[in-house]
């Protein structure tokens, strides 16, 4: 039997029962239904500092000297994962500082000055990536910056940006009342993280003219 896929859900809000956490729970539910092994981590539990100047603060053995749990989150949960879903509130039309700090801090270990950086880079690539977001405002542009940033992260790491869900709410778990049903969509995203069709063509990509195969009704 094939080993089950590993999914990490990174919650980037400080609110334990907030809207990002509600969407993250739905992703977890869907993923577990499809046999995926899921870990959920609140970034706040692991990171207490921004990235610093590695030349100044890297230890002699190459390790990061910041005394928090980032290393554990990155090496034990992020690198081994086949897929990662970022669950972030919209803060100032972008990812929360927690999410941004997570991505910034990875630099310490993929930079060439870290002794095992080649192995780290290899493990950072070719994941399936998803994004769930909570915002107070409803207009589409409020969350597009985040979608763009995760798209570029995915492109840069040869990863596949499988999909995103945006839920609207402000008070804790109010996203449950969003009539566009983002909680249902988040559960579907979780269920399909490793099976949803992904395509990103170049002009010379060979493909048939049909995306979903022959249409039996035509």
Ligand X SMILES: Cc1cc2nc3c(=O)[nH]c(=O)nc-3n(C[C@H](O)[C@H](O)[C@H](O)COP(=O)(O)O)c2cc1C
Contact set with ligand X (CB under 6 A) = 13, 15, 18-20, 89-93, 134-137, 142, 169-170, 172
Residue 15: name the closest of 98, 106, 130, 128 by CA.
98
Strand partners, 45: none
**Tokens standing for 85?**
């879903």
Residue nearest to ligand X (CB): 18
Nearer to ligand X, 19 or 154 (CB): 19
Nearer to ligand X, 41 or 124 (CB): 41
Output the smallest distance, CB 165 to ligand X, in A. Answer: 13
Taking only Cα atoms into account, the Rg of the chain, rounded to an integer number of angstroms, comes to 18
Nearer to ligand X, 42 or 153 (CB): 42
Output the smallest distance, CB 68 to ligand X, in A. Answer: 21
DSSP summary character for residue 212: S
Nearer to ligand X, 66 or 86 (CB): 86
Output the smallest distance, CB 100 to ligand X, in A. Answer: 13
HSE-CB at 154 with a 13 A cutoff on CA atoms is 24
DSSP summary character for residue 30: H
Output the smallest distance, CB 167 to ligand X, in A. Answer: 8
Output the smallest distance, CB 18 to ligand X, in A. Answer: 2
Nearer to ligand X, 122 or 137 (CB): 137
d(CA 131, CA 205): 26
Burial of 32 (0-12, 13-18, 19+ CB in 10 A): middle
């Amino acid at each position: 039997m094939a080993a089950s896929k590993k999914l990490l859900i990174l919650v980037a809000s400080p609110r334990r029962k907030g809207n990002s956490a509600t969407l993250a729970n739905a992703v977890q539910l869907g993923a577990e239904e499809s046999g995926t092994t899921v870990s959920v981590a609140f970034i706040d539990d692991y990171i207490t500092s921004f990235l610093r100047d590695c030349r100044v603060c890297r230890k002699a053995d190459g390790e990061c000297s910041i005394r928090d749990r980032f290393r554990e989150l990155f090496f034990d949960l992020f690198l081994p994962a086949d897929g990662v879903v970022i669950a972030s509130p919209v803060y100032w039309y972008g990812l929360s500082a927690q999410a941004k700090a997570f991505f910034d801090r990875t630099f310490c270990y993929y930079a060439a000055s870290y002794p095992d950086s080649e192995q780290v880079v290899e493990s950072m690539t070719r994941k399936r990536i998803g994004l769930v977001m909570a915002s107070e405002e409803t207009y589409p542009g409020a969350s597009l910056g985040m979608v763009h940033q995760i798209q570029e992260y995915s492109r840069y790491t040869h990863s596949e940006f499988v999909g995103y869900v945006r839920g609207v709410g402000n008070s804790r778990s109010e996203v449950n009342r969003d009539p566009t049903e983002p909680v249902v969509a988040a559960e579907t995203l979780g269920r399909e993280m490793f099976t949803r069709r992904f395509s990103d063509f170049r002009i010379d990509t060979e493909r048939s003219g049909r995306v979903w195969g022959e249409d039996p009704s035509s």
